[in-house]
Structure 1
Amino acid sequence: MTRSLLTRSAAVALVVASAIPSIAQVTLQLRSTLDAFTLGTGNPGSVAAYGDSLFVGSLFSAGTITRIDNPLTSPVNAGTLSGTLVLGGNGYVSLDTDGTTLVAASNNSGVNDLVQVFDFATGSLRYEANPGGLPGPGPGPSLSRIDGAAIDPITGNVWLTGFGGGLPTVLSADTLTSASDNPSTLFAGSPTGTGFRDIDFDSETGDLYLRATNGVLGGQRLEGSVDDFTTLNSLGATAGFSQIAGGDFATLQDSNRSALNIEFLPASFTGTEAVFITNTRVSAPTLASFDSQVLAFDADAGFDGETPFSLDPAGVPVSLTFLNSDGVTPFTTAGSTDGIYDFSFDPVNEVLYIADHSNGAIYAFSRPFEVEPLVGDYNGDGAVNAADYTVWRDGGPLQNETVSPGVVDAEDYAAWADNYGATSSAISVAVPEPNALALFALAAAVGVARRC
C-alpha cells in the first residue's frame, strides 16, 4: 500500500489562530482493528508494541499478558507469557517495551500489586516484585500502588509510577534494584497529592511526561545526567517537573480515577510536531465519544523556559483527527462508557495502537495513506458484491474502474466477476454459489447486447 498525504480534507496541516501561536493539527488514519475477544486476549487494558509483536494486558479478574504475532497482517495469539497470573483487582494496567525488554505493572487495589520484567524475544520472566519489595524513590513515601511503567530510552532503566504520594521509582531492568544515583533530585512530590498515573519519554531526548490526576507534567533531562530533570517553566513549577496541561482545562479533570495513560509521538510520525496523547475519564460511566476522551498536546513547546507547552495555562489541546480506513470519514466507535484507553507507539512500523477496554478492541492508526482502488467496487463501498453489478447493469457511472475508463462494457463486468467477494476493509462478504454467478453472467450477456 502506498503511503502518502491525502487530499486537503484529510491532510496534516497547521491551523493558525489570530494573535496566538500556531497549533498543529495531527491526522491519523485507521489501519486495522483487532477484536480482543476473538484473539483470546481478554478485555484489553494495556498494550505494548514493537515490530511484529503486540502485547496485550487484560484488566480485572482475567489479568494476563498475551502476545499477538503479526498484528497488522495476520494476527495470531502466540500464547500467554510465562509467569503471568490470573490476578484479581484491576489486572495489568501498564505495559511498555523497547524491543529488548517488556515491563508490566499490575494494580490490584494494593493486594498483589506487581512489577514484572520479561525478555522481549522469549517472553520469559526475569524479575518481579511488589511495592513492599521495591526500593524507595528518595524522600517521601514509596509506591503504595503501582499504576504506570515505562522504559527509559536513554538508560534502559524501568520507571514506575503509583497512587497516593508515591513518587516515580527508577529501577534497573536487570535486577529491579534502585538505578538512580541521586533520586532526591528527581521529584519533590505530586502537585495534586494523588500521585502519578502513567509515564512516557521522548524517544530521542529522554525528556519525560507524567500523567497526574487532573493534569500532565513534564521534565527536561539535564545535560550530562541520566536521572535528573529540570522544570520547564513557571506553570506550577516544582523541583523536577512543571505542569504542562491541566489546571483549569475541564476535559482533564479526572476525579482521582485510575487508568489514565500517556504516550509520546515523535514528529516523524505525526508529520508536523511531536505531541503526547492522553486519555481523560469522566467522574461516572457515561456515554462519551472516542475523540472527546483521547487528547493530544504539543510536546515540543516549553523547553525554552518561557513558553508553556500549550497555548495557555489551561492546556488547550492540539487538534487531533482520527479517520476511518477510507481516509475520508471520521473514525467513531459505538461509544465507550468509561474512557479506559491505553496507547503504544511502534517505532518499527510507525503505528499507534490504542486499546479500547469498553469495546474490547485494539485500533492501529498510521499516518494518512492512499487507499488502493478495489477493482470491481463500482459503488465505492469497500466491497465487491451484487450492488456493484447493479451499478454496472444500469450503465454506471463506475467508481474504481480499471479497464475501458469512461465506458461501461463487458470488460468492466469481467473485472467485477473476477474480484467478486473482495474487500478493502474488515467487511464480511458472502461469496455467491456458482449457479448465482451463472445467472449474473446470463444477465450480463443481455445487458451487453442491449448496449451494443
Structure 2
Amino acid sequence: MMFSKVSLGRLSAAALLLFGAGQAAAIEFNEIARLNVDFAFAANIGEQEPPDPDNNPQYIGTNPLGLAWNGSKMYLAGFDNFGSSLLPIGLIEVLNPASISGAADLGASDFSPAFGQIFQPIGRGYSGLAIEGGRLAAAYDNGSATANGIQVFDTADNSLLWDLSDSSATARGGSGVAFDPGFPGGDAAQGAGVAWTTFGSGRRALNNTETGATVWQLDDLIPETLGMQWLTDAAGVGNFARDLAFDPDTGDVYTRRSNDVDAADRTGDNATDNRRTIVDNASNGNFKIGGKIEFLADTDDGDLLIYNDSSASSLGQAFADVVKVIDTDGVAQSPTFTLLGGEVLGDLGTGNGVYDFDYDAASNTLAVLDFANRNVHVFSLGAVGGDLTGDYNGDGVVDAIDYTVWRDTLGGTAVPSGSGADGNDNGVIDNGDYDVWSDNYGATLAAAVAVPEPATALLVVLGVGACLSRRV
C-alpha cells in the first residue's frame, strides 16, 4: 500500500465516497487512515513454522486485542491466538500515528521497542488498554489472578509505573481496563483512577493512577472497601465481563457482560443506581473473548456507544454485521461509514467479530482495531461535505485541502450524487468539480468571503504540484 504523511487533524484526501445514502440524523464516520500493523505480529519473517519470535524483536503476539488512542499516541496490546506453543506477548507504541493518512503498511521504524512482554499459556494475553494523560493502563489475562493482571506504564518512555504487586494484590485482567473520571462534585481521590472488573464480580475495582494503591476492591469479605456495583440486579445467567467504559461528564458506567451491554447511573464516588441491561442478547457469548465498548461523548448526534456484537469466534463475520452504534438508552443508531478509496464496508476483510475502539474527543477521531485482519482504522466523526459549496472535507472553509480531496478522488463515482468532491452533483468526480472548488475558493460558512481571482486559486494548485490534465 502507498501512504502519505499529513495531519490527522484534517480529513484525508482519500475519504471519498459515502457508504450508502444514510440518514440525515445518522452519525457519520469518515476513514482518514488505515494502518496495517502486521509487522508487530509477524514472529517469522518468511512464514516458517513454528513461530520464532527471535526473528522479530518487536513481536508482541499473533493478533492485537487491545488499542489505546488519544489523538497523538497509539498503543497496541498483543494476544496469543496461535494455540500450540508458548509465545511472548507484549505491548507496542505506533510512532507518530497522527502524521499518517491514507493506507499505510507499517514496518520496524513505525513501532517502538516492544515492552510489557510476558511468556504465558497459549490462547492468553492482554485483554485491553486505556490511555489518559501520560499514563497507559493495561489488563492482562493468563487464566488466573496475577500481580501483572493490571499494570500502568509511563508514556514518556513506556516504562512500568506499577502493577498490583505494589498494593499486594492480584487480579485476572480478562475484563479490560478504563480510566474512571469519578463522580461530578465528588472526591477525585475516592472516585477517579484506574478502573477494572473481573469475571463473576459485577463490581468496579479502583486503583490510584499514580501509585497503584487500592482505592476500592472486589472482595465481598471486606465490605467497607468493596467497589461499586455495575451489574444489574436482574442479570441473566452470564456474568463474564469483557470491557467497561465511562461517561466522562457523569461517571456513568457501561459494561460488556458476555454479549450484552449493561449500564449504571453514577450517584457517588463509589455508588450507582438504575443498573440495567440496555442491549439484551440473552447473555450469549459467555466464552467469546474481545467483547468491547467505547463511549463517544458529545458528538453531533449526542452521547453514543460503539461496540462489537458477536457471540461466536467463527470466521467470516463482516464489519457491517458486528460493529454497532447505540445511544445511552440502547437504541440502535444508523451509522454511515465513509471508507478510503471509495470502498464500501463489504470490501473490508471479514474476521471473527473481535474489534476494539478508542475515541478521542479533542481530535474528534475514533480508532477501530480489527483483531483478525490486524488493521487499525482511524475515523473522523461528522458529515463529509455540507452546505458550503466546494467544501469537500466539511470543515467550513473552501481551501487547499478541498482541492486535495478532489485531486485524489478524480475519476471516482459519488454515491449518493453530490457527496464527497462531487460539487456539481452529477454523480462523478470530474473537472467540473474542480471548477466548483475554484469558483468558491476562500468561502466560509461563518461569513461570505470574496472569491479570489482564478490565478490565486491556481497558485494553490501549483503549490501542491497538481495537474488537471491527468489523474494523480
Give the TM-score of the pair, scaled to structure 2.
Answer: 0.65
Matches within 5 A, 1:34-433: 34-38=35-39, 43-60=63-80, 61-74=87-100, 77-80=110-113, 82-88=115-121, 89-110=123-144, 114-129=149-164, 133-134=168-169, 143-154=171-182, 155=188, 156-165=192-201, 167-180=203-216, 183-184=225-226, 186-187=228-229, 191=235, 192-222=237-267, 225-231=268-274, 241-247=275-281, 253-268=284-299, 271-299=300-328, 309-310=329-330, 316-325=331-340, 330-367=344-381, 368-369=383-384, 370-371=392-393, 372=402, 373-375=405-407, 378-380=410-412, 398=431, 400-401=433-434, 419=466
Cα drift, residue 346 of structure 1: 1.7
Matches within 5 A, 1:15-26: 25-26=26-27
Cα drift, residue 297 of structure 1: 1.3
CA distance in 2, matches of 1:220, 1:197: 19
The amino acid of 1:358's aligned partner reads: A
CA distance in 2, matches of 1:65, 1:420: 44
CA distance in 2, matches of 1:242, 1:403: 52
CA distance in 2, matches of 1:403, 1:207: 47
Identity %: 22
The amino acid of 1:254's aligned partner reads: G
CA distance in 2, matches of 1:149, 1:344: 12
CA distance in 2, matches of 1:298, 1:178: 33
| Secondary structure of residue in 1 paired with 2:320 | helix
Residues 106 and 376 of structure 1, relative CA distance in 2, 3 Å threshold: closer
Residues 87 and 36 of structure 1, relative CA distance in 2, 3 Å threshold: farther
The amino acid of 1:68's aligned partner reads: V
Cα drift, residue 276 of structure 1: 0.8
Q: Which deviates more from structure 2 when the two are superposed, residues 272-281 or residues 113-122?
A: 113-122
8 Å Cα contact 1:65-1:84 kept in structure 2:
yes
CA distance in 1, matches of 2:430, 2:230: 67
The amino acid of 2:178's aligned partner reads: A
CA distance in 2, matches of 1:376, 1:321: 21
Two-structure CA RMSD over aligned residues (Å): 4.1
Cα drift, residue 418 of structure 1: 5.5
1:147-195 alpha-carbon deviations (Å, 9 max, x no partner)? 2100112344111122234643122223323213955472286733433
8 Å Cα contact 2:202-2:230 kept in structure 1:
no
Residues 193 and 254 of structure 1, relative CA distance in 2, 3 Å threshold: closer
8 Å Cα contact 1:167-1:195 kept in structure 2:
no
Give the TM-score of the pair, scaled to structure 1.
Answer: 0.68
The amino acid of 2:138's aligned partner reads: A
| Secondary structure of residue in 2 paired with 1:335 | coil
The amino acid of 2:210's aligned partner reads: D
Cα drift, residue 404 of structure 1: 12
8 Å Cα contact 2:253-2:264 kept in structure 1:
yes
Residues 205 and 335 of structure 1, relative CA distance in 2, 3 Å threshold: same
| Secondary structure of residue in 2 paired with 1:146 | coil
Cα drift, residue 244 of structure 1: 1.5
| Secondary structure of residue in 2 paired with 1:157 | strand
Residues 28 and 378 of structure 1, relative CA distance in 2, 3 Å threshold: closer
CA distance in 2, matches of 1:67, 1:401: 40
CA distance in 1, matches of 2:435, 2:468: 17
CA distance in 2, matches of 1:58, 1:381: 39
**Structure 2: tracts of 5 or more residues without a match:** 1-9, 41-57, 81-86, 101-105, 183-187, 218-223, 385-391, 394-401, 415-428, 440-457
| Secondary structure of residue in 2 paired with 1:147 | coil
CA distance in 2, matches of 1:106, 1:213: 18
8 Å Cα contact 2:18-2:337 kept in structure 1:
no
**Structure 1: tracts of 5 or more residues without a match:** 15-24, 136-142, 232-240, 300-308, 311-315, 383-395, 430-452
CA distance in 2, matches of 1:423, 1:208: 53
